[in-house]
Amino acid sequence: MRAAMLGVKRKQWEPFAFASPSLVLIALIIVFPLVYSFYLSLQNFDLSVGADYEYVGAKNYVEALTRDPRFLGSVWTTAVLIAPSLALELMSTSTGSPRRRSRSCRSCWSRSGTTRPS
């Protein structure tokens, strides 16, 4: 009876034991740099000066969203590139089955650089 209880308990913790090394690796490689980058984004940090930095909070984000013309230009460029692609994707998926699609819609697929679903 005791052996059966150990088997049940083992089935409960065994998946976590096998997954834990990969979860630790994911945390070290992905999560830590993301959190540290966010922490640095809240600082007035200049590598050319040295290790001196001061906490400025969300001031960097407010400045980028309101006053930085390079950032606003890149947002506009991204929108210009995404909008036609999204429109083509929505138009091609809303036309029904592939046999009922018109030739112009099929050519949209080839122009958008994606493959047509079968």
In tens, the pLDDT along 38-75 reads 998 898 877 787 777 888 889 989 988 889 899 999 99
Q: Per this entry, what is the length of the chain?
A: 118
* Statement: residue 80 has pLDDT above 80: yes
Same domain for 31 and 43, yes or no, is yes
My answer on whether 63 and 88 are in the same domain is no
On whether both 13 and 55 belong to a single domain, the answer is yes
How far the first Cα of the chain sits from its last, in Å, is 56
DSSP the chain: -HHHHHHHHHHHHHHHHHHHHHHHHHIIIIIHHHHHHHHHHTEEE-TTT-S-EEE-TTHHHHHHHHT-HHHHHHHHHHHHHHHHHHHHHHHHHTT-SGGG--HHHHHHHHHHT-PPP-
Residue 95 is predicted with a pLDDT of 66
What per-residue confidence (pLDDT) applies to 81? Answer: 93
Decide which of 24, 49, 67 is a domain's last residue: 67
Q: Is the pLDDT of residue 90 over 60?
A: yes
Domain interval for residue 81: 71-118
Pairwise CA distance, residues 64 & 74, whole Å: 11
pLDDT for position 15: 86
Q: Is 60 found in the same domain as 79?
A: no
If asked whether residues 75 and 62 sit together in one domain, one would say no
The values of phi and psi at residue 55, to 5°, are -80, 125
pTM more than 0.75:
no
Both 78 and 59 in one domain: the answer is no
